[in-house]
């Protein structure tokens, strides 16, 4: 299993930057109408910004020089009005742009989340939770500035640069060439920095993700850490990971911070060349003093926005790797999917048939866990699965619920191949108790009703009573309204299990799967639970991965799982008489 530990960097696929960028902007362009409004508002505010020096110039050069204070005040009033418009325009633009970017982030995050819901266990097995979280939260958030600046900074600066360049060329092509000849140097430098620093930012993101995963794991398992007095060790690990984040950041900015200086150098060189060529090569008399004066102003107007563009570009490179990580998940195909023409599974009776089933995990396709397994279970039968750990008991029940797909063979429920029906309709008719009795934060009531969202209060109480969870619940201070926290503070493992029972019970499944679920309750409670379950098992097909013979003995059939298949099949009586594997298992527990 290619698990990814906290310390291992994630692999990254090579995707062209352009492709990532285009894909990212596609989200933005869904809001075309709003973007047009933003563009309009920007045109207004930018033009006010551009003419405001003219106001000042006119005020000083014309009105003040002439001593015309009336006109001066009038001009002041006009300028004031323009500034008020500027203020209102900026405000409207900021809000609108914020709405667009926040909406885009919301969309990306939702799409990502929805896609993750469709992924198979294989994905979750190989990605630590902390690393997936880093993508859903951190990586998405880091796109915010990039998106906003793409619109509010990129366009106006670009227009200014292009405009000034055109004016220069029109005024004096030769001087323009002299002034702009350094641009290719800048472009080459930027390309180099981008290529290298992009790789460095990727590393930084990965280190960040590792740290996130580490914090997640350490905080989830803090009890174990403290119990083993391993704080010192985890601290060292943490320092190391946190230090790696820092180092990779420093490594990345060492180069990325060159963007600004690169602009400064080409700017200086451009100025040098402009005057040198203008004066020495072309000659002052040919160019004219006025043109020189104008060009000296243009140079500033040209390079300042370039500096801003460079800093935007820097941001782009920094955050592009975040976008890559997001798209990487979106591009991870869901392994277990509904077939195109998959229908809904109608109400079933509960017959389960394995037909020559062979199974191997995706990442070890050559190592079969099950080989040529065939059996038929009649509706209402209870099957106990026994056998050594890791022999494949859990695998069999996982296949029935289609958490994994078979490598060869077929599985039928009633007469439906499970891959021909939708997963939702399949799983809704099954009650699956997984190994971890995972409860969600929320009240006990909410947790029980997770199995049937539209359940009435009576149904919920009935389910809780049936598994004998009711008694302990009402003893709690707030009864069914008791809040369960992440670490399930108030509940023991056994109690959590009872709640998980109730949750499955309420969903009233046709097929019931209990996976190692009977092992954590005290005998007294278990008797009550068994009673409830027996109630539940009537007219229900059930598979129980159990360890206790008292539970197993009541089963209609027992499958002894070992050696990639079913070793023995029969009821307790029959198997005992056979004196095979089951007999030995039985003896080992009760022999003495």
- 427-441 burial: b if 16+ Cβ within 10 Å, else e: bbbbbbbbeebebee
- Rounded distance between C-alpha atoms, residue 552 and residue 573, angstroms: 11
| 280 counts as binding another protein under rule CB under 8 A | yes
* Span near another protein by CB under 8 A; candidates 32-40, 165-173, 243-251, 454-462: 243-251
* Span near another protein by CB under 8 A; candidates 186-194, 257-265, 337-345, 454-462: 257-265
Smallest gap from Cβ 409 to another protein, in A, equals 22
Nearer to another protein, 47 or 374 (CB): 47
Count of residues binding another protein (CB under 8 A)?
174
Site for another protein in 156-215 (CB under 8 A): 208, 211-213, 215
- Rounded distance between C-alpha atoms, residue 104 and residue 495, angstroms: 43
* Token pair of 160 as six digits: 């200014």
Q: Kindly tell me the sign of the dihedral angle through the C-alpha atoms of 423, 427, 429, 430.
A: positive
| 29 counts as binding another protein under rule CB under 8 A | no
* Token pair of 541 as six digits: 């097909």
Site for another protein in 483-502 (CB under 8 A): 485-487, 489, 491-495, 498
* Span near another protein by CB under 8 A; candidates 21-29, 48-56, 150-158, 325-333: 48-56
Smallest gap from Cβ 49 to another protein, in A, equals 9
| 6 counts as binding another protein under rule CB under 8 A | yes
| 305 counts as binding another protein under rule CB under 8 A | no
Residue 12: count other Cβ atoms within 10 Å of its Cβ: 15
Please list, in sequence order, all residues whose beta carbon lies within 8 angstroms of the beta carbon of residue 360, skipping any fewer than 6 positions away: 366, 367, 368, 369, 407
- Rounded distance between C-alpha atoms, residue 20 and residue 437, angstroms: 40
Nearest to 584 by CA among 281, 377, 576: 576
| 60 counts as binding another protein under rule CB under 8 A | yes
Mark 393-412 with x for binding to another protein (rule: CB under 8 A) and - for no binding: -x------x-x---------
Smallest gap from Cβ 327 to another protein, in A, equals 18
Please list, in sequence order, all residues whose beta carbon lies within 8 angstroms of the beta carbon of residue 122, skipping any fewer than 6 positions away: 335, 361, 362, 363, 404
Residue of 50, 54, 81, 84 interacting with another protein (CB under 8 A): 84
End-to-end Cα, the chain, rounded Å: 39
- Rounded distance between C-alpha atoms, residue 137 and residue 135, angstroms: 6
Site for another protein in 441-470 (CB under 8 A): 441, 450-451, 453
Nearer to another protein, 1 or 16 (CB): 1
Residue of 21, 35, 39, 72 interacting with another protein (CB under 8 A): 72
Smallest gap from Cβ 284 to another protein, in A, equals 5
| 65 counts as binding another protein under rule CB under 8 A | yes
Residue 540: count other Cβ atoms within 10 Å of its Cβ: 19
The structure tokens 């509940």 sit at 491
Site for another protein in 327-346 (CB under 8 A): none
């Amino acid at each position: 299993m290619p698990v990814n530990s906290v310390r291992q960097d994630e692999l990254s696929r090579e995707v062209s930057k352009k492709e990532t960028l285009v894909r990212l902007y596609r989200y933005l362009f869904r809001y075309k109408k709003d973007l047009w409004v933003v563009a309009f508002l920007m045109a207004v505010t930018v033009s006010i910004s551009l003419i405001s020096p003219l106001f000042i110039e006119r005020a000083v050069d014309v009105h003040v020089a002439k001593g015309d204070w009336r006109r001066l005040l009038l001009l002041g009033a006009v300028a004031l009005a323009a500034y008020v418009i500027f203020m209102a325009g900026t405000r409207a633009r900021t809000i609108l742009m914020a709405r667009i970017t926040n909406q885009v982030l919301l969309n990306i995050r939702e799409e990502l989340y929805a896609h993750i819901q469709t992924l198979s266990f294989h994905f979750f097995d190989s990605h630590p939770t902390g690393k997936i979280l880093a993508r859903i939260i951190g990586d998405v958030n880091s796109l915010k500035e990039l998106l906003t600046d793409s619109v509010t900074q990129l366009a106006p600066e670009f227009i200014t640069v292009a405009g000034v360049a055109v004016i220069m060329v029109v005024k004096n092509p030769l001087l323009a060439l002299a002034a702009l000849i350094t641009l290719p140097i800048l472009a080459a430098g930027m390309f180099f920095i981008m290529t290298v620093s992009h790789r460095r930012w990727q590393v930084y993101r990965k280190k960040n993700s590792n740290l996130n995963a580490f914090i997640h794991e350490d905080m989830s398992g803090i009890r174990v850490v403290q119990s083993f007095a391993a704080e010192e060790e985890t601290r060292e690990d943490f320092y190391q990971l946190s230090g790696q984040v820092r180092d990779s950041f420093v490594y990345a900015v060492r180069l990325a911070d060159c963007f600004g200086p690169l602009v400064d150098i080409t700017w200086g060189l451009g100025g040098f060349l402009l005057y040198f060529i203008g004066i020495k090569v072309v000659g002052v008399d040919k160019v004219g003093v006025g043109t020189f004066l104008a060009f000296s102003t243009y140079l500033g107007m040209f390079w300042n926005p370039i500096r801003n563009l460079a800093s935007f570009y820097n941001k782009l490179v920094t955050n592009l790797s975040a976008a890559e990580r997001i798209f990487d998940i979106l591009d991870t195909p869901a392994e277990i999917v509904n077939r195109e023409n998959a229908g809904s599974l109608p109400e079933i009776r509960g017959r389960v048939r394995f037909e020559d089933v062979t199974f191997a995990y995706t990442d070890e396709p050559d190592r079969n866990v099950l080989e040529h397994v065939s059996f038929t279970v009649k509706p209402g039968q209870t099957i106990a699965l026994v056998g050594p750990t890791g022999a494949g008991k859990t695998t069999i029940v996982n296949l029935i619920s289609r958490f994994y797909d078979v490598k060869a063979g077929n599985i039928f429920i009633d007469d439906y191949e499970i891959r021909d029906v939708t997963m939702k309709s399949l799983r809704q008719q099954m009650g699956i108790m997984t190994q971890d009795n995972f409860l969600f934060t929320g009240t006990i009531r909410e947790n029980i009703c997770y199995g049937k969202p539209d359940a009435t209060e009576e149904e919920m109480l009935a389910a809780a009573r049936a598994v004998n969870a009711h008694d302990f619940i009402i003893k709690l201070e707030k009864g069914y309204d008791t809040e369960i926290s992440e670490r399930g503070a108030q509940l023991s493992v056994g109690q959590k299990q009872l709640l998980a029972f109730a949750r499955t019970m309420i969903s009233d499944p046709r097929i019931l799967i209990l996976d190692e679920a009977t092992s954590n309750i005290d005998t007294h409670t278990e008797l009550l639970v068994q009673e409830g379950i027996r109630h539940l098992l009537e007219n229900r097909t059930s598979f129980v991965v159990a360890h206790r013979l008292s539970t197993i003995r009541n089963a209609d059939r027992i499958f002894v799982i070992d050696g990639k298949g079913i070793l023995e099949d029969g009821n307790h009586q029959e198997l005992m008489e056979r004196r095979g594997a089951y007999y030995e298992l039985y003896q080992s527990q009760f022999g003495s």
